[in-house]
Amino acid sequence: MNRISEYRNKIGVSQAKLSKIVGVTPSAIGNYESGVRNINVEMCWKIVKALNQLGGDCLFDDVFPEPQKDSTASQ
């Protein structure tokens, strides 16, 4: 799960404004945020850079944390 919407909302930026900077549609941003659409590493970096350009203060790992392994899955 990513934290795009959390950081985007923290700095008061719309999906439309973020999408314009990274070069995708606002619905693509919404789909990335909800996990409906897969996102590649290159786009992840574009989003992090755009969030910082718009006034955010975040690192790649803040917005795209490493998935946590489900400890109950192997039991």
How do residues 8-58 score in pLDDT, each as one tens digit? 999 999 999 999 999 999 999 999 999 999 999 999 999 999 999 999 999
Distance CA(48)–CA(8), nearest Å, equals: 10
* pLDDT for position 5: 97
C-beta separation of 67 from 7 below 8 A: no
Q: What is the pTM of this model?
A: 0.87
Helices in the chain by DSSP H: which ranges?
4-10, 15-22, 26-34, 41-53, 60-63
Q: Look at the block and give the residue holding tokens 């192997």.
A: 74
The class that CATH gives domain 4-58 is mainly alpha
Whether residue 70 has pLDDT greater than 90: no
